[in-house]
Structure 1
Amino acid sequence: MVYQPTIEPKTRDDLAATLLAALGVAIGFAGLAYLCVEIPRVYGHVTPIWLSNGFLAACLLSSPSRRWPALVVGGLVGALAAGAHAGDSPTINAILVTLNVSEALLAAVAVRRVAGQAIDLGRPRDMLAFVLLGGFLAPLIAGGVASSIHTFVRGGDLLTNVTGWVLNDILGMLTIGPCLLVLFRAKLYLREQPLTRDGMLSILACGVMTAVVFGQTKYPLLFLVPPVILLAAWRQEVLGAVLGGVLVAAIALVLTIAGRGPIHLILSGSATQSTVLQLFLAVSTFVALPVAAFQRQRRAIMAELVETSAAAERSEAKFRLLAESALDIIAHSDLHGQMTYISPAARSIMGYPPEELLGVGYLKTLHPDDLAKISEVVRVQRECSDPALAPPAATVEYRAFRKDGDMIWLESRPTLAFDPLTSVPNGITDIIRDVTARKTLEMDLRAARAEAEAAAAVKGEFLANMSHELRTPLTAVIGFANLAAEEADLSPRARRYLDRIAAGGQTLLTTINDILDFSRLEAGRIALNVRPTNVADLVAEVLELTSAGAMAKGLTLGADGLAALPAQVMIDPERVRQVLVNLVGNAVKFTDAGKVSLAVVHQENRLRIAVVDTGRGVAAEDQALLFARFSQIDAALNRQHGGTGLGLAISRGLVELMGGEIGVESEEGKGARFWFEIPADVAQTDDKASDEDDLPLPPPGSRVLVVDDNAGNRELVRSVLEAVGVEVAEARDGEEGVAAAAAETYDAILMDLRMPRLDGVSAAQRIRAEQGPSSGAPIIAFSADVRLGPLDPVFDGATPKPLTVMSLLSTLAQAMSGPAPVTA
């Protein structure tokens, strides 16, 4: 069940309160009308004051607008009853009642439009609105019409009747209206300004002075009453002004009606006497109310000033405490560079008391070499005159000297300060921080970085030397093992031994290549050579390279998706081959039974290759280690299968270098799926098919000079080239190579890069420069260093160590078939 709130009880309560208020208005209006008419009639006087209209206006202004219709009806009922009692005819009664109620309603509407829903006579605006609109304008309009009608019906002097009638209404409105409005808000006024002894005495003085003035008929002492009312208004503000005014009006009316008071010194008749009395009471009230309102406002302003001053003092104390407790120096200087304030932190940071750094004292502590830099930052701030265009504060670091002579590093952020009232620049505010520890750390880090870079350079040089020193003997080991294996008269045992030598050399070469490739990746020295490539042929080549290991373990090796591939795509075939060989080799290595398959897909100019095996798989917690350098997920596996732990790290580096990504999906015991994806735009195919099956050979009878400091390498090259009909000459170092090239003509020169006495680059440059018989021959770099980066332009090609027959022959054939180089 959902509870539905109801407003019926509240509505009933509001209706009851409204009806009760309307009844009170009717009784009050009628009662006041009776008193204002009957009491003066008993003493033979005309009505000197009309309170009913002011009473109704005050009730309307003190009530919400929704109650006004009921209150107006109540006023009409009370007015009709009073008119009937006074003996007015129904017509006259209806007209006068309508005008009286209209006067009260007109006053309430006009005042509320200016003052709003809640009228507070303590505010000068509300007080003036009530006095001018309710106290004068409304009675002047409605009273003038009512008195004119009354004169037209009953006769008499129109000016006298209008003046008396209007003054009656004004006096009633200004007497009872403010009194009721103040009494309705008496709690508020008393809470703001409690009733004091001086206030009570000042109100009592109003009564005493009025009684003294109106208790005698000998002297015209009316001028003595307003000052006392002003005193009550000054002491007790609005409440004092209203209560004093009511007390004065009551005593003055009673004594005047009783035949006492200075009003009777006027001999022009009762009408004139009544008019003077009305003017006296109206002026007294009109003077007291503004004074009371402005006194209340003055007191509020003074209280606000006191509170603002206290708040400013508290704020100043708070910010002073912050400044004095701050670990950084807070400083302020004028626009001429004179330091006007420095926080106490200067003592702990600079060693100086703050007062010693005021004026230009702070500038004397700065390092001379940094003074211009600081001055420029401050100058930019000082030259701005508009807060909206103020440049952003710039941070500046500089050196300074402590009082004890030690140099420290400081950090400043000078900011232009503006006057909060005028927005005119008045100085520079700065936060000065000691950053000596940070600067020391930065210098230590720079030194450590320089040391690390030097160590990296040494490491690179070491790796380059090791590459040369390791690959040089490997060239001979692998090359001669392959050549010896081709001898027809070898025994099976000897052939097996040679195969193992070649396999061992190849394994050692792979390890060296991994280490060097990883070093080059870290240094960013690997450049891609993107060209049109047949991916199907590349995959077939990788499968052929790894087929021996798969056949030895009885694994099935295959690839899917090759038929759907484009004829050629733009990739770096060497780097893709390197990644594939690594992934397929690992799959074969860690798969004991089943199969290893490749899934190749080309879609949206991206090549995606996955290597799937049926091996033991990789646990989820170990997969993050797979692509980390020097990482093996199981030391036992490392011992069983070998490896440096760099293969997958190198693969990841190469794939990311190619703009792709690499990953693994595996469950322990359910095999693994390694994949990588790289950009691969479809290449434009050439309609002219080339025959790539023929082995490129240098022309028979060619003469080649081999310059190498390793005799084994020279012998290996000689064995390969003489087998295809090429004449070979040898030189043991760069100097001998230069001399040989200057003495005879050669069709090509194979030049090692690292040799004693004269290195390969210098030797090649001298051969070109000396313009000997072989200065125009193609010079081919023959070294392990050709893998490390770009070659010197003096070379026409390169073949790496360890030597392969295909690389050597194809490089020579290509170089010898090209145009001869231009000699100097």
Structure 2
Amino acid sequence: MADALYKASAIPTIIIDRDANRLVSTAASQLCEAFHASHPEAAAACLRNGGSPDRSAGQAESTPEGVIHRHCPNGLRHIDVPITIEGKHLASLMFCSFLYDDDTVDPGRLREQARRYGFDEEAYLAMYDATPRLSREQVRSILEFHRNFVGLISRQGLANLRLSQEIEAHKNAREQLDEQQRYNRTLSDALPTAIFYKNTDGVYQNCNEAFAELVGLPKERIIGYTDQDIAQPELAAVYRAHDDALYEDGGVQRYQAIVRDTDDNVREVQFSQAVYCAADGSLQGIIGSATDLSEYKDAERKAHENEELYRLLADNAGDVIGIVGRDFRYQYISPSVERLLGYTPNEALALRLEDHFLPESFKRLRASMLQGFMDGLPDAKPHEEAVREEYVQIRKDGSTVWTEMVTTPLRNEAGEINAWIGVSRDITDRKRSESQLIAAKEQAESASRTKSEFLANMSHEIRTPLNGIFGMLQLLSSNTHVNDDQQQYINVALESGKSLLTIIEDILELSRFDTGTATFVVAPFSPAQAVVTVIDNFRIEALRRGLSLFSKVDADVPATLLGDVGRVRQVLLHLVGNALKFTPQGHVRISVQRIQSSSKGLARLRFSVCDTGIGIAKDKLNDIFEPFAQVDGSYTRRYQGAGIGLSLVKRIVDRLGGEVGIESVPDGGTTVHFTLEFPARCEDVPPESPCTPEPNAAHRILVTEDDRLNQLTTQRFLEKLGYDAVVVSTGEEAIECLRVEEFDILIMDVQMPGMDGMQTTEAIRADDSLGPGQNIPIVAMTAHAMAGDRERFLSAGMNAYIAKPVDMKELRNVLLEVMQGETA
């Protein structure tokens, strides 16, 4: 309706609540939208002055009560119509941004205002000329329509409000009735006092567990029967005589009688009963209670016998000792309660037990105490021993204190609980320390999770473009048309890319050491070959910098050892990289020496990296192996680097059981050395495994990858390996392809828009309509390479896993293993 009015008059209409939130609105005024709202100062002026009532307009016209005419500083007019329900102003309907047909606007003032706010003067005046103009008769008609519309809203809202109130009241009454009935049933069964109800014919209509226990019969054997059915004839006659007297005399009747249960146990019982009438005054029957006096007499006697002993112990105890009866009131409390809670013993005895505890603590304490003799409670368990729990108690001044309370049931000769003894002590300081420890632990765990998530995301984002770079370089390397120089350049680029990947892995590796998830592999290796590999990796960089890079391996160093060559090479890569970085001229030398070992059968090797670089000040050497440490903050800008290399070196060497050291002279060079022990005798390094047969060219592979560069890389890899590849961009497209075509293998990227790789895999495995495609081997090809990622993908239904950036040889082997069923 508001939109229709706007189309007819071009005047915006808005409904706002009392907090100025828009509930309904049409398009804004073109003048306000194009000019005033776009300038902060103009917008602020509108908000500040736009609400000024137009007193002259209100007096000049017959304005209905509550309607406000407003005149903004820009000359525009607005009208507010209040929306009320039962006299309460809940919202307003605003009729905005128009002019009367007899309003005049000063062009000079408008031009001055346009210049002040930086508006185009002619466009500003033209927009004012386009502002809707209405006659006062038109405004009165529109205002009358708005008032009728507001009245309709108010009446409908009032009707809805009253209906909602009636429904809510009915619902609340029903819930209260149900709650009261549940409460009465629970209370009846929870009370230790025996309660019964029988009609005017003497037939029992209901009773609680305590009454059933008193007469020695289950409730179902009592309800629906009379005293003649459940008691000896002489006792039934006594009960009937008292009932008749009660009907005749009314009031409350109390008497004592002997009760003999089914086991012939005799008890002296006091009955208290009254006549029960319905709301209309009609007689319904008798409601009463029965109290076993013998139990109380025994309890009274035993309590008297032990009272002095209790008092002697409790009065001199540092902890608070209290005896709580079955009415949940203290029968005794030791003087130390004043030190714990601020109450004197007499003040504490005058209060209910629940007055000493916060509601939740008292609820747990009561449940713990009642479990000793009542069935049907949630989580009921035997309460044969003392229970130790922690509660929050309320002090006299309103403050709270944590206490540890040991609650022990006190039983009579029959084994029934008739009271509890509780011993409480203040543990507030201990709880405060525990809270601080928990908070610190949670903070540390949160920081660890944040770091792990950051490292995982960083690894993924870097590995994805590296996959395209590595892939294209590998494709160029396999091109038979490149010359020797070009092949060398490609090889250097590949090695440099691998070095970059090593740096990324080092960052992740630092996290693995922090979380204890770093892994080590033991296999035969050649120390000399490991050094050659490192030299080759930096040869081009050394030449570019005009440095001499060489190595010296002593003749007595064994040709083959057993150890983790990857970790040894990782340490050397860091040390040589650092040496080259901080050596402006001269040389860098790697040396390997065999030194005396204290253990028989072990070869102890000392690896050293020596340079003629800038050196390190003596006072900085102690911090050089700390994470992210720099000798000088300016080095970060001058030489680059994150300062994690030497920290990782030390952690690796420590885990390998070795030692690392450093000697340096400012402007005189640095030598970093580490010593490791390896088994002196081992098998020769095994030759490479024989080549696996080439794939059948007929095999078809479906590739699901959203990144275009990685699509091209993977497709070219597969074509080079002799496969027929089909590439799609989403998991949904992969499922549709499997539905209409047959493939031998599905290569699945994990992180994709829409369905990710894991969701797509689960959908394929669950879709019976795919036929053979449901069980197609799936290889995860992903930049997710953190610890646990491989296991997560395999558990989702994938058959194999390969991390980006992808090596073509590794891809070939994985695909062959999948087709031969050798992967997990």
Q: TM-score, normalised by structure 1?
A: 0.46
Larger relative CO (CA 8 A, sep 6+): 1 or 2?
Answer: 1
Larger radius of gyration: 1
Higher helix share: 1
More strand by share: 2
TM-score by length of structure 2 reads: 0.46
